[in-house]
Structure 1
C-alpha cells in the first residue's frame, strides 16, 4: 500500500466518521464505524470463499436463489465449509454490499428502504452461525456494542435508518482488496481508525491502545534473534494491536493469547485479530481481570508484551501469597500500585526460551518497601532482568508521566550485567502538538543499542550486577547513564565590558530624555549627567 493510497484511505475513513461526529462522542461512534468495517470484512471474506467453492459450477454466490431447492442445497454445502474454515456464515442476501444497496434504494416518498431490522437480524445471525462450533467463543456477542436502537442515531426510526444507510454507502465505496493476499488495506484502515479514536479519547485511550511506535519498540525487543514464534501473549491486550505488531516483526507466529478486562475493548481485540486474517483457531483471547482471575494459568509463552494500566489498584489479597505467580517473592505488590504484580504475572508465564517487554511508570525503578524487595529478588535471585529503557515523556494518550520498558529473559546471554538506555533526551524524539512521538531513527537507535549491548556517552550504559548491588538495587536510570550537560564557562571580563557599554548607553539615553523634557517644559522622570 503506497503512501498516497494510505492518505486517500484515511480521508475516506475520516469522512465516514464525520457522518456520526456531533451526534455522539468518539467512544460511541468508534463502536459503530469499527463494527460496520468488521461486518463488511466478514461479508467480503464470505463472498470470496463461497465463490471458490462454487467455481467448478461457474456460479457467483450472489446469483444463488435462496428460496429454490437447488439454492438451498448450495447454501447448506457452503455453510458447512464456511463455518469450518472461516468460523461463520452469511447468506448472499445478508452480505454487506446487499444491505448497503437496499438501504440506499430511494422510495417514492423520498425516503429510503428501511434496513435497521434486517441489519440487526443479520448481525445476530452471524453470531448464531457459530453456535456449537469451535469459533463460538470468538464471535460470541461480538456486535453487542453496535446499538442500532440508540436515540443518538436519531429521534425517529426514519432518521436512524437514513444515517446508518449513509454510513454503509460510504463504506461500500471503499475497496479493501481482500482478494489480494499481499494487501492489508483493511488491517491498515482498522489500525488507523483505532489510533485516531485513541488520540481523541484522552485518558480512556490508554484502556485500548498503545501508540504504534511504542508497540514497535516492544515487538522488536521480544523478537530479537528470532524469525518465528510459537506463541505471543499480552495480559492486558486492549485492542490487540500490540500482539499484531509482534507478528509483523517475524515470519510467523503460531498462536496469539491475550486477556482484557474491558468488554468493549475485548470485542475490538477479537475483531482486530479476525480483520488481520488471524484464523480463529490461532488466537485465544479472554475477557476477565488478569491479576484477579487469570485465564491461561497453565500456559507458558515464548514472547510476552504488555502496556498495563499505570499504577492501577488491585486487591493484593492475602490468599495471593500462595499463588504460584507471587509466592516465591514473599511479598505482594502494593494495593495502590499493581505494576510489579503484572511483572510477576508475566514472568510466571515466561517459557524457558521466552522474552518479555513491559511498559511501566518510572516509579518501579526506585520505589522501596515491597516493590524494592520484588525488584531485588528479580535481579539477585532470578537474574532475569536484561534491560531498562527510559522513554521520552508524553508518549501515551491521556498521561504525560515518564515511563520505562523492562526487558526480562529467562536464559540471558549476558547474565553478569544489565543494560540501561536513556532514550528520553530531546534529541531522541519529535515534539508534536498533542504528544511526543518516536521517529523511525529513534526506534532503530534503541533497538540497535539493546542488541549490540554497547555503552554510549549520555545514552546507554552496561552495568555490572555488583554495581547495581552497590546501589541497593535502585534502577533509577540517571544513576547509570550520566546525561549531565555542563554549563558553558562564563567570560567575566567580556561580561564586565558589556555591562560598562550598557551603563554608558543608558546614561546617554537618560540625558536625551532629560533634554526633551527641558524643551517641553516638563519635569524629567530621569536624572541627568549634569
Structure 2
C-alpha cells in the first residue's frame, strides 16, 4: 500500500466525520471544528497506543483479538506495559478503547458512556497531553461532544455514528510503514477552520515554502539537544519545519499563543509529528503582556507574528518599567483604533531578539515596509540588529506569497554568531508562479527556487540583480536599509568607437530625422487637402 493510498483513506475518514456532523445539523457549526479534530485525535492516540503495545508485548501482537487480550492483562502486567511504552504515547485502559465503545454502543445512554470515556482519557493523560495557560491551569483534551447536539434524543445516535466511522479505519498500518505524510493530513484536517481573517485574534497559515526556506537557512548543519520556540505559534507550521530540520529527537519545542483554538491545533500537530513530549510546553497566553517564558533564552526562534492584532487593551501596561528592557526600541502607538495598521509585530520582534540564547538563531516574517522605514521604532530595531552583530540576512519574498493578504513580506534571519562582514540580502520578488486559489491569487515557489534562496544565503553569494553581500559599514551608510535593491549596482555599458564611426552615426541620425520631418510635412499637407474637401477649409 502506498502513501497516496494512506492519504486518500485518511482524508476519507475526515470527510466521513464531517458528514456525520452535517447529518446532525452541525455542518459549518462553530462546534464542528472541535468535534472533527478531537475525534481525529482520539482515533490517532487509540491506534498509536495499540501499535506501541503490540511492539512491547508479544502476546498482544499474536492475539487474534487485541482488545480481549489487553483486558486479560492483570494490573501488574498493564503497568509494566505502559512503562515500556514510555511517556510520549498516551495511555489507554481497555475500557477507553474505541473497540469497547463500539461493542457497547447499543447500551442505554450511550452518549453518557461516550463522554465519560473521553473525559477519563483527559484526566489520565493530563500531565503529558494538556495545554496550559499562563496561570498554570490545564485544559481538557476532549469536550463533552454529545452536548453540542441540542436535542437530547439524538445524542446517542450521534455518538454511535462517530464511533462507527472511527472503528472502520486504522492508522496502525501507517505506523508500521513509517510514511511521513502527516503534515499533508494535518493541513487537510484544519483547512476549513484555520482562518485568515486578520481580526482580533488573527491566525495566518504560513505557506510551507516559506517555512521550509526558514528552516533550511537556520539549520545548515546537524545540531543536537537544542530548544525551539515560537511566540506566536498558531497551528505550528514553522515549529514543525524547524523540528524536522533539526530532528525530532534532537530538540524540545516551546510555544505561546493567545488563541485556544490554535493551541489545540498545535497539540494535534505535535502528536502527529512525533513531538508529544513537548505538549506540556504549549502555553495559551498573551505573549506580549503576559509572557510565560519571559527571561528564558532559546536556541532557535521562528515566528510569523500578527501584523494587525489590536493591542490597545493592554498597551498602557507595557509602559511600565518592567517591560522597558524587553521593548528596547519603544512601544508603538495605537493608530486611532485602525486595526489594519496595528504594528504589534514590532513588539514581537523585540521580544524575540531579547529571547535568543548566546548562540541563538531566529527567523521572523515581517512586512517588507519594515526593512526600509526611515525612522521610528522600525529603524531603531534594525540598528540594534546591526550594531549587535545579529543580522545574518534578509529575503524579500514575492508578492502574494500569502494568498489571503496583500501585504508584501520579507524574512529576517538573526544569528548571535553572525558574520557581520558578510550579510546577505536577497530580492526574491521576481521568483514564483502566480496561481489562483479560490478568489485569491497566490505566488507559488518551485522547489528549485526555494533551493536557490537557501543556497545563496548560506554560501554568502552575490548574484547580479538577486543578492548582495554587505558589511555593517555599508548598511550604516544606507540608513540601515535591509532592502537588497538599494544596493544593486546600476551598470551602463560603454562601447569605444573611433571619431570616424561617431561622425557616420551622427550623419545617419541626421538623415533619419530629416526624412521623418519631410514625411511629417507631407502628412500635414494631405490632412489639410482632405479637410478642405469636407468643407472645413477655415
Instruction: Give the Cα–Cα distance (whole angstroms) in 2 for the partners of residues 3 and 43 of structure 1.
Output: 21
SS at match of 1:207: coil
Q: Show the counterpart of 1:239.
A: 235
d(CA) in 1 for partners of 2:41, 2:423: 44
Question: 2:32 corresponds to which residue?
Answer: 29
Change (3 A) 1:136 1:458: closer
For the 8 Å contact 1:82–1:88, the answer to whether it is kept is: no
CA distance in 2, matches of 1:76, 1:210: 42
Deviates more, 1:273-282 or 1:50-59: 50-59
Which residue of 2 is the match for residue 119 of structure 1? 114
**Distance of 2:244 and 2:82 partners within structure 1:** 32
Query: Which whole-Å CA distance do the structure 2 matches of 1:296 and 1:180 have between them?
Result: 37
Contact 1:46–1:82 (8 Å) recurs in 2:
no
- SS in structure 2 opposite 1:249? helix
State the distance in 2 between where 1:6 and 1:422 align.
39
The aligned residue for residue 469 of structure 1 is 476
CA distance in structure 2 between the aligned counterparts of 1:424 and 1:305, rounded to whole angstroms = 22
Question: Once the two structures are superposed, what CA deviation does each residue of 1:79-130 show, in whole Å capped at 9, x if it has no partner?
Answer: 8638963464322232124435655x6xxxxxx9763222211111012113
| Aligned match for 2:359, one of 338, 345, 353 | 353
8 A contact 1:333–1:339 mirrored in 2: no
Q: Is the 8 A contact 2:230 2:239 kept in 1?
A: yes
Give the direction of change, closer, same or farther, for the CA distance of 1:438–1:278 in structure 2 (3 Å limit): same
Match of 1:487 in 2: none
SS in 1 for 2:425: strand
Confirm or deny: 8 A CA contact 1:50 1:61 kept in the other structure.
no
Residue 90 of structure 1 is aligned with which of 84, 89, 92? 92
What is the match of residue 212 of structure 1? 208
In 1, the alpha carbon distance for the partners of 2:155 and 2:79 equals 36
123, 132, 145: which one aligns with 1:128 = 123
Aligned positions of 1:326-345 closer than 5 A: 326=326, 329=328, 331-335=330-334, 336-345=342-351
Offset at 1:73? 2.9
User: Could you say if the C-alpha distance between residues 477 and 23 of structure 1 is closer, same or farther in structure 2, counting changes exceeding 3 Å?
Assistant: farther
Q: Which has the larger displacement, 202-211 or 383-392?
A: 202-211
SS, match of residue 148 in structure 1: helix
Q: Does 1:46 align with 2:43?
A: no
C-alpha separation in 2, matches of 1:37 and 1:179: 15
For residues 4 and 178 of structure 1, the distance between their equivalents in structure 2, rounded to whole angstroms, comes to 11
Deviations 1:55-92 (A, max 9, x none): 358766511586xxx65636763686389634643222
Indicate the residue corresponding to 2:500 in structure 1: none
Partner Cα separation in structure 2 for residue 321 and residue 444 of structure 1: 45
- 1:296 pairs, out of 268, 293, 296, with 293
- Name the CA shift for 1:404/1:6 in 2 (closer, same or farther; >3 Å): farther
Structure 1 gap segments, 5+ residues each: 106-111, 485-490, 512-525
CA contact (8 A) 2:232 2:303 kept: yes
**Cα shift at 1:401:** 0.9
CA contact (8 A) 1:326 1:332 kept: no
Judged with a 3 Å threshold, the aligned counterparts in structure 2 of structure 1 residues 352 and 250 are, in CA distance, closer, same or farther, namely: same
Note the residue ranges of structure 2 that are not aligned, 5 or more in a row: 335-341, 492-508
Aligned length in residues: 485
From 264, 267, 270, give the equivalent of 1:267: 264
Q: Structure 1 residue 439 and structure 2 residue 450: aligned?
A: no
Q: Call closer, same or farther: CA 1:136–1:402 in 2, change over 3 Å.
A: closer
Quote how far apart the aligned CAs of 1:13 are. Answer: 4.4
Query: What is residue 488 of structure 1 aligned with on the other side?
Result: none
SS in 2 for 1:237: coil
**Alignment partner, residue 395 of structure 1:** 401
- Alpha-carbon separation, structure 2, partners of 1:161 and 1:444: 53
Per-residue Cα deviation, 1:274-322 (whole angstroms, up to 9, x for no partner): 2322242676111111111221224322211111111434326454554
Shift of 1:165: 3.6
Distance change >3 Å, CA 179–CA 387, structure 1 → 2: closer
